[in-house]
Amino acid sequence: MAPAGLLREACSPELYRRNPFRTAGLPVGVPTALVRQRLAGDPAADRLEEPLARLLDGFFWYRADPALDALAAGDIAGTRARWEAAAGTDPVARHNLAVLCHSTALEHSAGDFFPDDLWPDAYRHWLALRETDAAWTPQLRRVRRILPLALALVNARLAVDALAAGGPVEPALRHWRLPFEAGLPEGVAERAARIAAAPLRARVAAAREAVDDGTPAEAEAALRAAVIPLTTLQLLDPTQDDPVELFLRAAARHSSSGAWASARDLLALAAPLARTAAGVDAVQRQLRAAEQELRVREAVEAYRRRKLREESEARSARAAHEAAEERRARAAREAAARRAEALRMAAQRQVMESRRRTRAARTGEPQRATPPPPAPPVPGPRRDASTDRAARNLLAFAVDWDGCHYCQRVRRSPRHDHPVSLARGADVATVSVPRCLPCRWRQTGRACLGLVLMAFTVLIVVIVTPAAARWVSWTAVAVGLVWTVTGLLAVRRGAKARWLHTLTYPPVADLWREGWRRH
């Protein structure tokens, strides 16, 4: 460590508190081995290994004197009076008096208190001792040379440490000004101020170097660490350069890279440090620009978040709607499948029943009574019981006898496998029964016979009428041929031609009166 650094460490505000001689309770002049023995395991013993610290610790403590017994007993006023009386002729008494006043002033300088009545006496007694040649041995000549600097360093360190810790400003500044007002040799107070503030200036220099050569993040970290040193240096030396230029440069680097929040924070730190009007104006202008940019970015980000939230909600709504539609479609498919299965089973049962009846008719076995199928629910006004019974009996009759209105009294058709249906309106009940095959053939035969007769008639007309009307006859013949072919195709297709295959029964009440009952 450089001599200035060693001197700064040795002349700290803890000058007396960590003095090994004080800790050991021994006066200066006793053997060093005895001091080490008393301080076994105590960190204060390490100062005995450092020559400069050992020299200063030996100087800034009491020398052997009979009055030390009274001081140890707590008689501070009596001891001080005895040493003041003997200070003019006894160098030891003058030295001990200076140590007593100096240590007392240091002990009373804790916190925000500055003992005005103690510090001037301490400086006066030390400077008087420095002028007393008899008090200085050859080994203490170096201490005599640096004594003013050591005294000034103690107060400068008190000021720097108090301001750096955020303590009261006024007591710290009084400690800082004391060496300049105590009558020390020229340049001593300035040198002590430089040595005490050297760590602060080093941190400011590191911040300046980081702003010049480091990354924006390194510059920001260095400036944040340099705020307290810069504030302390401004309080101690108001004439130094305005430090806001460092913060403005670092903020410009952050804003150019888009880090407007960091730029705003740095400018907010620089605002209290600006002393000149130009510096204050520059900081405020850049700070307003950074805040405006941040507000714009926050608005854009809020809009982006809102759009993302709306899109997410829309996607969720679409997904929920699609899921609901899928559930409804699945339910509809399942219901349709159930209905189709029910219809298939009903048709299968009817087919099996029809086949059973057919086999029974062929073999002559007596037919077992088939219970009537349940009537389907029909909306509308309720009917009387006789009408409902007539509808059920008629439907059961048509199913059991497997016929239609035109052929039921003539024959039974074993070839009919189509189900019948019952429909109810407001005041009637009708039964639709597919035609049996003989009915279809008879109807087709009647149609064909009618067409043949029409064709024969047209032919006679063509022979006996003038030639000018023949085109009308040939047109009628063509229409008749088309009608005949269409009828034959419809008969071949069977149940697909409903206009040939089905017949709607008249009202049930009329059929009931005609005797259409199940036997």
* The pLDDT value given to residue 506: 43
Q: Residue 133: which pLDDT band, with cuts at 50, 70 and 90?
A: confident
- Give the span between the Cα atoms of 234 and 229, in whole angstroms: 8
Angle, helices 76-86/91-107, rounded to nearest 10 degrees: 140
- Among the ranges given (58-62, 351-355, 401-405, 496-500), the one the predictor scored with the smallest mean pLDDT: 496-500
> Residue 433's pLDDT is what?
52
| Tokens of residue 45, six digits | 């013993």
Name which residue leads in pLDDT, 300 or 468.
Answer: 300
In one-letter notation, the amino acid at residue 63 is: R
The mean pLDDT of the chain is 75
Residue of 345, 403, 352, 350 lying closest to 373 (CA atoms): 350
Residue 507: both structure tokens together: 């009202």
pLDDT beyond 50 at 116: yes
pLDDT value at 474 more than 80: no
Longest dimension (CA), the chain: 183
Residue 1's pLDDT is 41
Tens of pLDDT, residue by residue over 298-324, are 899 999 999 999 999 999 999 999 999
* Distance, CA of 197 to CA of 156 (rounded, Å): 8
List 424's β-bridge partners, or say none.
429
Rg from Cα positions in the chain: 62
| pTM reported for the whole predicted model | 0.53
Dihedrals phi, psi of 180, to nearest 5 degrees: -75, -20
Q: Does residue 238 or residue 402 have the better pLDDT?
A: 238
What is the 8-class DSSP label of residue 346?
H
The 10 Å CB-count burial string (b at 16+, else e) for 246-266 is: bbbebbebbbeeebbebbbbb
In this prediction, residue 381 carries a pLDDT of 42
Residues 425-444 have a mean pLDDT of: 55
CB 432 within 8 A of CB 421: yes
Average pLDDT over residues 116-138: 87
Chain center to CA of 500: 74
Q: What are the pLDDT digits (tens) for 289-298?
A: 888 888 898 8
